[in-house]
């Protein structure tokens, strides 16, 4: 079996969502990370394993992204701490359409790797935003980590020239896991001015901030991991060599997000929460008190268990809408489905996010970008697969209508299951 961070498809083993976070922070165990560091304190894991992330991403993948993503100009940026972002016209070219005069098709802008290289040589850092759009390995990593954390995960790649700094001192409103891929980079991390800031609490200081107190300074070597909770301001610089690192931006579902969903739903239950504000409310000295009493009474009463469950579903739907789909070797899998023997096994994938909604008369799977209903007779089959791999014969025996193969095929088509030979 390959190492858990080797997210290629060279072997049939997918990345395990249950173990992916542990791999990223090891030798710190996951429980310690979640209890002592997550949303609380920075963590630098120095390993001395330069090749740890070698199969995940490298310079060749940067060049591949510039090639296959050349039309997605908004996915690329060139930044320097002492200047604004480089205008796109300095690293893009206009390409005419074939037979443009005959067809009337307009030319299109494309990222020009030569312009990117020139800017890099002048001290600009290359940022590839949401680099998973151009890398199946990064996509599988993000999807597995999303399933484990219940958070949206975005992979950003930073290629920084020697003796350079891509961004001024700033804090993020998301948590950050940094994987150092190549070269070294020194990070200065400062104590939060705002603890766990939300989007309306940004911070960026091109010339530093006199209030910022240095928490720690660390130099990342290839194979290292750095975790920075949201709110900890930071700035990073390279030394004598270029640096390539991957940032996994973690956007967890927060209490404020659930409250926002409840604020959308509670007024549907209570007309008093839909009434207009009274005349003179801006100047009424006791308005805050009266409003607080009304909200405490009516809003709390409106937030019944059913409303809370509906709010949770809204958040879950938002998260799954952001999740990336993964073909999961679907074409070879479809070929195997047709030849599956009764003793061959069906397995639920452990790396993709999905939710099963089971009601007395319905069964629904919530998947990235959509939800699909299945006959209730499929519920015993799905519950059996949740316990571990099952043979096709077992699945057929659980359903009186013999839908084992059809259900397995449906799950394979949605990227939720894989099929294989008997163990």
- State pLDDT tens for residues 22-74: 999 999 999 999 999 999 999 999 999 999 999 999 999 999 999 999 999 99
Q: Check: CB of residue 115 under 8 Å from CB of residue 93.
A: yes
Backbone angles phi, psi at 303, to 5 degrees: -85, 65
User: What is the per-residue pLDDT for 4?
Assistant: 45
| DSSP conformational letter for 232 | -
pLDDT over 70 percentage in the chain = 95
User: Which residue reads 């739907």 in tokens?
Assistant: 317
Closest CA to 221 of 55, 57, 56, 45: 45
List the domains of the chain with CATH numbers.
17-252 (2.60.120.650), 255-322 (no CATH), 330-420 (3.90.930.40)
Q: Which two tokens stand for residue 167?
A: 């961004």
pTM attached to this predicted model: 0.88
Q: Check: CB of residue 182 under 8 Å from CB of residue 243.
A: yes
Strands 362-367 and 355-359, by their bridges, are antiparallel
User: Which residue reads 């409103």 in tokens?
Assistant: 173
From the DSSP assignment, how many helices (H) and strands (E) are in the chain?
14, 20
Angle between helices 404-413 and 330-338 (to 10 degrees): 170
Q: CA separation (Å) from 165 to 125, 185, 303?
A: 7, 9, 48
Residues across the chain: 423
**Helix intervals (H) in 266-304:** 287-294, 300-302
Confidence band of 6 (pLDDT split at 50, 70, 90): low
pLDDT tens column, 184-193: 999 999 999 9
pLDDT tens column, 314-372: 998 888 888 877 776 888 988 888 888 999 999 998 888 888 999 888 899 988 888 89
d(CA 389, CA 394): 10
pLDDT tens column, 199-226: 999 887 767 777 889 999 999 999 999 9
Q: Check: CB of residue 305 under 8 Å from CB of residue 392.
A: no
Q: Residue 417: which residues within 8 A CB-CB, separation 6 or more? A: 346, 347, 348, 349, 385, 408, 411
Burial-class residue 99 by CB neighbours within 10 Å (0-12, 13-18, 19+): exposed
d(CA 230, CA 215): 14
The region of weakest confidence among 3-7, 169-173, 409-413 is: 3-7
Q: Check whether the bond before 27 is cis (ω within 30° of 0).
A: yes
User: What is the per-residue pLDDT for 101?
Assistant: 84
């Amino acid at each position: 079996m390959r190492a858990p961070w080797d997210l290629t498809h060279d072997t049939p083993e997918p990345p395990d969502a249950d173990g992916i976070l542990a791999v990223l922070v090891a030798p710190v165990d996951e429980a310690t990370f979640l209890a002592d560091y997550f949303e609380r304190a920075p963590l630098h894991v120095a390993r001395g394993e330069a090749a740890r992330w070698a199969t995940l991403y490298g310079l060749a993948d940067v060049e591949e992204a510039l090639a296959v993503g050349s039309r997605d100009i908004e996915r690329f940026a060139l930044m320097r701490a002492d200047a604004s972002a480089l205008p796109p016209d300095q690293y893009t070219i206009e390409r005419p359409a074939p037979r443009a005069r005959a067809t009337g098709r307009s030319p299109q802008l494309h990222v020009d790797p030569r312009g990117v290289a020139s800017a890099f040589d002048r001290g600009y850092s290359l940022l590839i935003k949401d680099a998973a759009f151009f890398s199946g390995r990064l996509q599988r990593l993000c999807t597995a980590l999303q399933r484990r954390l219940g958070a949206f995960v975005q992979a950003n790649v930073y290629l920084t020239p020697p003796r350079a700094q891509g961004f001024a001192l700033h804090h993020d409103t998301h948590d950050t896991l940094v994987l150092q891929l190549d070269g070294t980079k020194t990070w200065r991390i400062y104590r939060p001015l705002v603890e766990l800031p939300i989007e309306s609490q940004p911070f960026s200081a091109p010339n530093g901030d006199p209030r910022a107190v240095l928490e720690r300074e660390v130099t990342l070597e290839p194979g290292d991991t750095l975790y920075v909770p949201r709110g900890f301001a930071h700035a990073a610089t390279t030394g004598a060599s270029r640096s390539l690192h991957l940032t996994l931006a973690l956007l967890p579902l927060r209490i404020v997000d659930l409250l926002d969903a409840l604020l959308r739903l509670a007024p549907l239950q209570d007309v008093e929460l839909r009434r207009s504000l009274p005349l003179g409310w801006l100047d009424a000295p006791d308005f805050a008190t009266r409003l607080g009493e009304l909200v405490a009474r009516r809003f709390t009463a409106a937030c019944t268990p059913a409303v809370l469950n509906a709010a949770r579903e809204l958040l879950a739907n938002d998260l799954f809408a952001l999740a990336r789909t993964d073909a999961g070797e679907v074409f070879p899998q479809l070929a195997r489905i047709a030849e599956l023997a009764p003793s061959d096994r069906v397995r639920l994938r452990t790396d993709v996010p999905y939710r099963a909604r089971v009601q007395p008369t319905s069964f629904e799977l919530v998947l990235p970008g959509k939800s699909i209903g299945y006959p209730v007779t499929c519920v015993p089959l799905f519950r059996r697969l949740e316990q571990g791999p099952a043979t096709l014969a077992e699945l057929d025996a659980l359903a009186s209508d013999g839908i084992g193969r059809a259900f397995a095929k449906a799950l394979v088509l949605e990227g939720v299951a894989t099929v294989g030979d008997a163990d």
